[in-house]
Copies of this chain bind each other. A is one copy, B any other.
């Protein structure tokens, strides 16, 4: 390939992402300068946070300006290197964006082990930012104790499914909310959640009351909105609410009111705490051995939903918001070596 195909963001989406919010460009594949590497992107991670970046405001990331290649986490292979730390053929995780090839000075790259027991996609589905989000969000912010009741929203999602399983490993009662019968079966029958609630067909309040007879000690919030309000109504004294995402609001075109019962935080002496995984990347060595061990023991499972073709990326990301993805959403840009 001599052309580098790119999705360039040209408009801040209103509501769901549209292909017309991006421009499909083809530019020559660049050559690495001194101390640079050229990476061929193999897999692109699609995450709910991408939608937040597209609004163009500063978040935990600087503002994403229009007319640049859309950001995204990638797994790739080094094609050319003028950097002493990388050799052609090295597999790397980085932030290569929505394109075939990316130049890097190496500062955003981490090398993947040459010998590995897991598929390459596991570095998105189990390790990497997804695993660290679930691990530190639950353990550092949620502080589970044996016997705690843990409720996880978007529980069949990449982060939610790992969070619930780690909750089981930590001897919590785990109740997950998901948007289809298939997802509910998967998290209970395959992943070992104690109960699942189909938030599209059941009364979430009634079902949570039923499945959480001792109240909620930890609500791991991936969605915000209505479900957050219902969960707040059922929290126990000293409950913890790690705030991981607010996916229900990411496509809102007008402000969405917050929970009307927020002051229950006072009467329940409860804590809501937001976090982003970038703050924990430097502590990945604490998490990876646990995640690897639990995976090897069969106590941690994941699944990936791989959409083929960079050209399909703008439509693929909406699978996160209509709930049609089954597992960690990934775009395959090119073949594995």
Q: Which residues of A contact B (CB under 8 A)?
A: 52, 59-60, 224, 229, 237, 243-246, 249, 255-276, 279
Contacts and interface: CB of A to CB of B under 8 A. Distances in A.
Given A272-B272, A272-B273, A273-B272, A59 B260 contact: no
Given A59-B267, A60-B267, A267-B60, A224 B262 contact: yes
A191 to B, nearest CB: 25
B279 A274 contact: no
A267 B257 contact: no
A244 B266 contact: yes
Given A245-B266, A260-B257, A263-B249, A273 B275 contact: no
B276 A269 contact: yes
Majority secondary structure, A binding face: loop
Question: Top 4 nearest A-B pairs by Cβ distance?
Answer: A258-B258, A257-B257, A265-B274, A255-B260
A226 to B, nearest CB: 12
Nearest to A246: B263
24 contacts: A60-B267, A60-B268, A224-B263, A229-B258, A243-B265, A245-B266, A249-B263, A255-B261, A256-B260, A257-B260, A258-B258, A258-B260, A263-B274, A264-B274, A265-B272, A266-B274, A267-B274, A268-B274, A269-B275, A269-B279, A270-B274, A271-B272, A271-B274, A273-B273
Contact of A271 (B261, B267, B269, B271): B271
Q: Which of the listed residues A60, A258, A271 has the most CB atoms from chain B within 10 Å of its own CB?
A: A258
Contacts of A276: 266-267, 269
Contacts of A52: 267
Contacts of A275: 266, 269
A52 B261 CA distance: 13
A262 B263 contact: no
A237 B224 CA distance: 20
A55 to B, nearest CB: 11
Nearest to A248: B263
A165 to B, nearest CB: 22
A208 to B, nearest CB: 18
Contacts of A257: 257-258, 260
